[in-house]
Structure 1
Amino acid sequence: MTAARVLITRDPASASALAVLLRERGYEPCASPLLEAQLPSDVESLRELLAEATGPSGPTWLCVTSATTVAALAAVAPTPQWGAALDAARRPSARHRTEAGGPALRVAAVGEATVRALREYGVGVDFVPARVSSAAGMLAEWPEEHPGASGAPVRALVPVSALASDALVSGLRERGYDVVRITAYDTVPVPADRPLRAPGAGTATIPEAPEEWGADAARAACASGELAAVVVTAPSRADALLEGMTPAAATAWIAIGEPTARALRARGVDPMTSAQPTPAALADAVSRALGEPDTSAPERDDHTEPATTTPATTRPATTQRFR
């Protein structure tokens, strides 16, 4: 009997962890990135943001919402040691400290994949939401209620995708932060002219990576009913996959989070929403959507992409992590 085929809307390297879990459950995974990230044509603003974070003049948060943003910072950095320089600003040294003696810079990351990407370059993280890996999740658990209570303005540097919502920016501004939003990367159809890769990306040394499909093949398979399920990992990928195409009614759709689920509903698809943006939670959602028994191990702490949850699949909250 042929295994049920599941399409993951990511590049094969990024899809490999989920692909392993799907194979363990008897599915046949394949991957189609559809879109790629690339540096904007003008990167001077991003360079200036990195310089400010490395040498802050006052209390500052650097808010990092994806591993791709880390790749963009690395691409424009003036030296390979940029991560060490950035991490030094987090330490209460003679050069980088507030009047109260604490570090001038703190780093917030949206989830564990972003934490790992920062650590690849030696950058520590001071805050990561414990429950939901998204802008809304960051705001819900944000550790400062009254920024600048001592009188000093608090900066929030937010390098993001050109397609990112203003949820985090608006939320921090409402709380009194001096927020700077900068486009770190654009999202374009594959192949990008100047593709960005997250740290460790590449399929040559990843035997678990699934077969890669081109965008046309992925769309054709969605329309024909060849796919048992599709895992959609971003609203932009939902739009790229479904533009001008009517999907087969029998295909199950899994959204990595509520923003992606909304994008799918706008295209006439009613998806199941993953409890968390992790390989384990996404594999659970595939099993539930296809009516298979859930035989997974307990969920591992290996966040991938920002997302929000829906009540039907949300797991119990854990303790906030504020390092």
Structure 2
Amino acid sequence: MTDTDPSALAGRHVLIPRAPGRGDGLARRVEAAGGVAVVAPLISRQAIDDAGRAALDDAVAQLADGAFAWVAVTSVNAVDELAASAQRVEAKRDGECRADDRSPAPSPLSRLAVAARWAVVGPATARALAAHGITADLVAPQNSATGMLAVWPDAAPRADRPSDGTRAIPSPRVLLPLGDLARPTLEHGLTTLGYLPVRVTAYRTVSHPAPPEVVARWRAGGFDAVVLTSGSVAREVAAQLGVRPDVLAVAIGEPTREAASGVGQVIASVAGAATDDALFAALLAAVGPATTNSSAPSVTPAAAPDPPASPTGLLDAAGNPAILEEGTHPSPRHPGVPHTPEES
């Protein structure tokens, strides 16, 4: 994090709808610039069911057997779920990998996935892979599926492809461990490039209701800006809080901007990369310091729906609207999230 003018966001109140572990870096930047940051997740990751877990484990077992030329990873969540699956697969193989491994790798994922090349959507995902001992072979310069496809090599030179639609060699297979809400952009693009994409659901995205104090503050005009880090977050902001034209919205990339536009949210700025530094730069460009240092801007509250059982249709594992755990104690930065010493 570079030096920041301590008054660059003076008097500004910024909502960061992310989990504390993912939103704290940006929150620190906002606070260092004189702003007030509130980190409150509106979505969360949900484990897949037993059938989905079996399908994921089968795909990882095939990966271990060299069945995939590439693995394309579009989120840190997917890395986490692949690592958990690799641990299960390795355990089922009666310790063969451990017995034969003369140079222990940091994790089962790197032990099982030595034959494939890895493509990632951005630097955060690359770092998550590196924590498991895997170096990404391709990092998208633009943090989106479109950005990945722009630099992905053709499966074979076009001159070598038969004109009658048949192929002299089988299409290389690409494992796509995605969230359940991911669009098919990557699948379609890879097919065009001559690959055979194999999509498997690695996790589900579910609604996480906003804490009541955040809802009340939003409706009272208590936020100057909101940071949208995915299309799912943009839709949940609209569904749970309501669209406010007086709140400046910053998007992490073009897909998020498009999703926000689809629910009526105008985007003031788009980050140049999926990093905290880029999001902070976009926030500065969109917002700047307040003209007064009041605790909340003086605006007319916009009408908003009651806190919903999410109209986006995102449910918990039992098919019910997701709810907050009982007994949580709000922290100053993380309302509705259990307070721990690390959040101080």
TM-score class, shorter-chain normalisation, is 0.7 to 0.9
Q: Does 1:86 align with 2:86?
A: no
Moved more, 74-83 or 10-19: 74-83
Q: 1:260 to 1:216 in 2, by over 3 A?
A: farther
Amino acid at match of 2:184: D
Question: How far 1:145 moved relative to its partner?
Answer: 5.3
Among candidates 277, 286, 293, match of residue 289 of structure 1: 286
Partner of 2:118: 107
| TM-score using structure 1 length | 0.72
Moved over 6 A (4+): none
Return the offset for 1:245. 4.3
Could you tell me how far apart the structure 2 residues matched to 1:162 and 1:40 are?
9
Closer, same or farther in 2 for the Cα pair 1:45/1:18, shift >3 Å? same
CA distance in 2, matches of 1:125, 1:246: 39
Q: 1:36-75 alignment to 2 at 5 Å?
A: 36-41=44-49, 42=51, 43-57=53-67, 60-75=69-84
Q: Which residue of 2 aligns with 1:200?
A: none
Alignment of 1:207-286 (within 5 A): 214-243=210-239, 245-271=241-267, 272-286=269-283
1:179–1:25: structure 2 CA closer, same or farther, 3 Å change rule?
same
Q: Percent identity?
A: 33
Cα displacement (A) at 1:221: 2.5
Cα distance in 1, alignment partners of residues 216 and 262 from structure 2: 20
The one-letter amino acid of 1:137's match is G
Moved more, 136-145 or 1-10: 1-10
Counterpart of 2:45 in 1: which secondary structure?
Answer: strand
What is the Cα deviation at residue 234 of structure 1? 0.9
Q: Deviations over 1:249-292 (max 9, x none)?
A: 32111111112112222222211222222111111111111134
* Cα-to-partner distance string for 1:177-219 (whole Å, 9 max, x where unaligned): 111001110001238xxxxxxxxxxxxxxxxxxxxxx444333
CA contact (8 A) 1:147 1:153 kept: no
Higher relative contact order (CA 8 A, sep 6+): 1
- The partner residue of 1:185 within 193, 200, 203 is 203
Give the 3-state SS of the residue equivalent to 1:243 in structure 2.
Answer: helix
Q: Provide the rounded CA distance (Å) in 2 between the counterparts of 1:147 and 1:127.
A: 19
Q: Considering only aligned residues, what root-mean-square deviation do their CA atoms show, in Å?
A: 2.4
Question: Partners in 1 of 2:219 and 2:243 — Cα distance?
Answer: 4
Q: Give the Cα separation in 2 of the matches to 1:220 and 1:144.
A: 51
Work out the CA distance in 1 between the residues paired with 2:171 and 2:285: 48
User: Could you list the runs of 5+ residues in structure 1 that have no partner in the other structure?
Assistant: 91-104, 192-213, 294-323
Q: Secondary structure at the match of 2:174?
A: strand
AA paired with 1:71?
D
For 2:137, the equivalent position in structure 1 comes to 126
Instruction: Please tell me whether the aligned partners of residues 82 and 109 of structure 2 are also in contact (alpha carbons under 8 angstroms).
Output: no
Q: Using a 3 Å threshold, how does the CA distance of structure 1 residues 245 and 121 change in structure 2: closer, same or farther?
A: closer
Asked if structure 2 preserves the Cα contact closer than 8 Å seen for 1:256 and 1:274, the reply is yes
Report how far residue 147 of structure 1 moved: 7.0
Quote the Cα distance in structure 1 between the aligned partners of 2:284 and 2:252: 14
Residue 6 to residue 119, structure 1, CA distance change in 2 (3 Å): same
Per the alignment, residue 38 of structure 2 pairs with 30
Q: State which structure, 1 or 2, has the greater radius of gyration over its C-alpha atoms.
A: 2
Q: Distance in 2 between matches of 1:74 and 1:160?
A: 14
The answer for the alignment partner of 1:13 in structure 2 is 21
Check conservation: 2:245, 2:265, Cα contact below 8 A: no
Q: Secondary structure at the match of 2:61?
A: helix
Q: Is the 8 A contact 1:34 1:215 kept in 2?
A: no
One-letter amino acid of the structure 2 residue matched with residue 65 of structure 1: T
TM-score (norm. length: structure 2): 0.68
